[in-house]
Structures are given as structure tokens and as C-alpha cells.
Structure 1
Amino acid sequence: MDTNARPLTGRIALVAGATRGAGRAQAVELGRAGATVYVTGRTTRSRVSEVGRTTETIEETAELVTAAGGTGIAVPTDHLDPDRVRALAERVDREQGRLDILINDLWGGEHLLVGSVFGKKSWETPLSDGLRILELGVRSHVITAALLLPLLIRSDAPLHVEVTDGTAEFNRRYRENMYYDLAKNAPIRMAFGLGEELKEFGGTAVAVTPGFLRSEQMLAAFGVTEETWREAVAREPHFAIAESPQFLARAVAALAADPGRAARWNGRSTSSGELARAYGVTDTDGSRPDAMAYFEEVVYGGKDASADDYR
């Protein structure tokens, strides 16, 4: 077997929140690199989560991991339930004895944002919606890290990835609503703190963000497909910088295979664009979009440039 082509052969990964979007893509790319990947989420072929989408399931994600060359294992898990996450950890322990890569890509709160949250002051936001955002975006991450990190530190090169929206630098701007702002900054601080805790184990904790992500939900919202996504640019010009979920996934897989990553990335906040430059990966169309730089310099900075200049 060509271990250069499949550098994660023998590695055990878990992607929490792998039903769709960047979580699914990361699971598949880790499998393509040879890893055994546990994929978790709430939507199964027999049960639909509050997100309300029936077209993506964790069983399908596991099948895609295996088809890519890895071993996909679907474990239905509500990461807000400590008992379910504890059972997940016990299963991984029983079957593998350790964990090498933990990706915390839990969210599922998009349905709460438009109308209920964005554009509203914190006191105008329904409290139940605000607290649910914090549960989905913060509490789920904390529970998952607390119960799975004991397995991760058994690895000879632990990697913990917190997936969020925005880098630490980008999120110096207020993210439109207090609850959303808290939810998307918390994983950045988690990665910073866990980086300190993982140092003695030779580990890496890093927060990563995609750019303008062409997730299944985003494509559906615009009424386009991955093949026709550019048709949405007429409606939303900034969608021209959009990236596929595979872009972040390829970058994270390269990060996972980097033996020197601890010194380079531990405790940091980074983006798909920065990781892609560092590891020489591209999106599915061969481009290398840098949405963070585009928004910083063009959208907010007023620079006279187009999205094509940042692809």
C-alpha cells in the first residue's frame, strides 16, 4: 500500500457532526487518506433532526468514507446528551483503544438565524432561540471534547480540530447577534485552551473555518446545485468566492498528515484558505479561494477587486 498516497492508514478519527456539509466532507477526505472514521450526528435513515433535512444521513456519510478507501463507522449520537457521548467514547475505546483525530464540527443551528436572530439585538432575540444556539454551538462542543479527549491523548500525535465560522482575526467584528457571536468565538478559545493542555502530549488543537461554504443547505437556499452554483452569484455577488466543502476537508486531511503540525498550528485559529496555501491543496475546480482575505480587504476594506482575484 502506498502510504504516501494514504498517509492516514492505521489512524483512528472521529468526526462529530458528519451528517452533511464540511463535517461530511472532512470524514470522506480522512477516509480517502486511509483512516478509520467514526461519523456521528442526529440524522439517520430512520430519524430526522431539528434541521429538518432528510437527504443526508450519517449512514450515507459512513458509506462514502468506505467508498473513498477508508473505513466508515456510523454511530447515531446527540452530542448534547452526555450519556450518548459517553457511550460513543466507550465504543471507540472498546473497538480501537485510542483516538488519533477528533474533529468537532457540531452546529445545526442555521434554521434559527434568519428572522429570529440576525438583525436583532440580544434582548429582541427569543431567549429560547438564543439558548439553543449556545447549546448547539458551544455546549455540544464542550461535552464532546470533555468525554473524548481522554481517548485522544493516548495517540502518539493527537489532533483536535474545532470547526467554527470565522477566524479569531475576522471575528474581532461583531457577528451580528450576541448569541451567534458567542457560539462562533467559543470554539476558537477552546482550541487555544486545549492547545495548552495538549502540549505535554505532543498534540495539536486548532480552530478552523471554511469561507463562504457551498453546503447542501446553502445551495438549497439559493435554489442551485454544486454544478450550477454560479447561477446564484446574480442574487448574491459575494457568492462568487464560495468554496466547496471538499476545500476545507482536503486542507484538514493534509493538516492531519503533517508530522510537524503541533509546532506550526497548535492553539491557533486558521482558515481553509490559509491551510490550503500552506499545504498546496486546491478546491474541486482547481482554484484556491481565500474568502477571509476577500471579505477583509474587498467587502469591508473597500479594495477595488473581484472575487476572481482571490480564487
Structure 2
Amino acid sequence: MDDGPLSGKVALVAGATRGASRATAVELGRCGATVYVTGRTTRERRSEVNRPESIEETAELVTAAGGTGIAVPTDHLQPDAVRALVERVDRAHGRLDVLVNGVWGGDHLLEFGKKVWELRLADGLRMLRLGVEAHLVTSHLALPLLIRRPGGLVVEVTDGTAEFNRRYRENLFFDLAKNAPHRMAFGLSQELARYGGTAVSLTPGFLRSEEMLDHFGVSEGNWRDAVAVDPHFAIAESPTYAGRAVAALATDPAVARWAGRSLSTGQLARAYGFTDADGSRPDAFGYFRDVVFGGKAGSARDYR
């Protein structure tokens, strides 16, 4: 796509194997960007998450959407591997315009209903490494390339807005891992401002990821069947929604107005006018704030 709004721009989506980060890579490609997609699962080797989705598939989806997808197997907890990745981007393009820190892969370690001293320490510390350390390693090594040109964008992907996460997330390690990206975005926004860069944190709502669909035994085609199991799933959104949110930010010449802020897909959909893949505009955090926790009469349909 030679005439897309991100034609000539280069993006790195860290942790783009599946879910919101995969969809983000695809939507950036749809805007014409060259997108480096990284992760630990390839067609030949799976990560500890043990899911079938691979970074090669993501890269192919990016290219099919109109961009150029480049898959680079990378463990973002290994500084040498991330350094080699950034050097490769530099040699090929001499620029980096968008960095999406979407590394996670810690859901299989989650236990709820237990105090911190009852949890497995190794699992908790692993979540912090995946959700915090991996992001810091990537920013440390990639940002010198991003700041060469003004207008760079950093998106810290997390779970829950800063407001929503004032509620305890019922696992101390998870709570820390999902609150840290808000502070990282705030701090990075301060450091990037003098270089014309912007950093934000972004959360999907109730995400219909591949793993979540499998959890409920449904597909994207019949996902509403899962509402019988969990009524709140009626507010669920596809990964495309998050991808469109990042694409809207990346193509906004006034994106600096969001610097340092905690953003949600629903909030950005209202601001930019995009919809989810089905044409709806779900506001999951409004629904949880008002109906689930606030006791307001209403249903998920009122927030779509």
C-alpha cells in the first residue's frame, strides 16, 4: 500500500503473536506501515504459553492487509536479542515510528482468590518479568531509534484503565504487572516530549482473544453463545477494536494531546469515530463502572 497514511513508516509490535497485539500489527499494516512483529512462538517452536498462533502468521496477515509484515523471533527478556532486533530495523530503514509494547503471555500463571503468601512465588515473579521487565528492556533499546525523528509513538498495552485498576485485581503480582504500564507511559511521556514523541497506555475491554474464545468453547462466529456462561461477555470486543485504536493514534497528527494518559479502546472509538469489526462501539469500562459495580439499571446492549 503505497498511499496509506502510514506508508513509509516503520512499526515494531512486541508480542504480536496473538490477541490485541496481532490485530494491532494488522491494522498498522492496513495503513501501509512496515511492521516488525515479534514473539517467542514460531511455526517451529512454541513458547511456554503453548498456543498455536505464530509470529509468521501475524506477518502474513499484515502483508495481506496491505503493509509489509516481518516476523523476527524475539524473547524481549533477552537484551542481546532485542538489541539485535533494533539494529536490524536500523540497518534496513534507519527509523522507527511506532513502538507497541504488547508483551504479556502470563495468563496461564494466574491464580485468583489467594493471598500473596499463598501464591507460587516463581509464577508471580515471572508475570512481573513478562509484563514489566520485558517492556522496560524493549523501551531502553528501541527508543534511541524512535527519537531520531519527531512524532514517534509508544503504546504500552495493559489490562484495565488506571481508573478501573484502582480496584484490586485479586492477584498482587497481576495487579502490579497491569498497573506498571500506566506509570511507564506517564514517565516515557515526560522523557519523550523534548524529542516530539508521545507515550500512552492502552487497554482493550473484555477481549475476545483466541485464548478467551477457546476458554468458552466458542469461535468468533458464534461468540455470543458464551453469554449464557458469563453474561458480562455480552460486552466483549474483538482484537480488531484495539488494533483500530492504535492505528487511530498512529495516524493522528495531534496525538500528543493524549501524552501520558491511560486510554481504553471504547474511549478512543468515541474520540476517533471507529467501530469494532461488527460495526458496534463497545464501552466495556463504562459498562463495568456503571452497571456491574455502580448498580445502574442497564445491560451490555446499552454500552455497545
Quick check: 1:202 aligned with 2:196?
A: yes
Measured in 1, the distance between the counterparts of 2:149 and 2:281 equals: 32
Stretch deviating more after TM superposition (151-160 or 9-18): 151-160
Show the counterpart of 2:142.
148
Measured in 2, the distance between the counterparts of 1:33 and 1:245 equals: 17
Measured in 2, the distance between the counterparts of 1:118 and 1:7 equals: 43
Kindly report which structure 2 residues correspond to 1:144-223, keeping only aligned pairs within 5 A, or say none. 144-223=138-217
Aligned to 1:258, the other structure's residue is in SS state coil
Quick check: 1:282 aligned with 2:280?
A: no
In structure 2, stretches of 5+ residues that fail to align are none
Kindly report which structure 2 residues correspond to 1:1-311, keeping only aligned pairs within 5 A, or say none. 3=3, 6-54=4-52, 56-113=53-110, 117-262=111-256, 264-311=257-304
Measured in 2, the distance between the counterparts of 1:155 and 1:237 equals: 47
Q: Quick one: percent identity of the two aligned structures?
A: 73
Residues 190-242 of structure 1 deviation map (CA, whole Å, 9 limit, x = unaligned): 00000000100111100000000000000000000000000000000000000
Measured in 1, the distance between the counterparts of 2:215 and 2:78 equals: 30
Letter in structure 1 aligned against 2:280 = S
Aligned-residue RMSD, C-alpha: 0.9
Whether contact under 8 Å (1:252, 1:275) holds in the other structure is no
Whether contact under 8 Å (1:43, 1:57) holds in the other structure is yes
Structure 1 residue 118: Cα displacement: 1.1
Residues 95-139 of structure 1 deviation map (CA, whole Å, 9 limit, x = unaligned): 1111000000010011111xxx21111111110111011011111
Whether contact under 8 Å (1:39, 1:75) holds in the other structure is yes
Letter in structure 1 aligned against 2:94 = G
Letter in structure 1 aligned against 2:122 = S
TM-score (norm 2): 0.99
Measured in 1, the distance between the counterparts of 2:157 and 2:245 equals: 13
Whether contact under 8 Å (1:13, 1:37) holds in the other structure is yes
Q: CA distance change for structure 1 residues 2 and 93 in 2, over 3 Å: closer, same or farther?
A: closer
Measured in 1, the distance between the counterparts of 2:149 and 2:301 equals: 41
How many residues were matched structurally? 304
Structure 1 residue 2: Cα displacement: 7.6
Aligned to 1:13, the other structure's residue is in SS state strand
Letter in structure 2 aligned against 1:219 = L
Structure 1 residue 156: Cα displacement: 2.5
Stretch deviating more after TM superposition (149-158 or 274-283): 149-158
Moved over 6 A (4+): none
Structure 1 residue 252: Cα displacement: 1.0
Letter in structure 2 aligned against 1:303 = K
Measured in 2, the distance between the counterparts of 1:61 and 1:292 equals: 28
Letter in structure 2 aligned against 1:47 = R
Whether contact under 8 Å (2:2, 2:32) holds in the other structure is no
Aligned to 2:117, the other structure's residue is in SS state coil
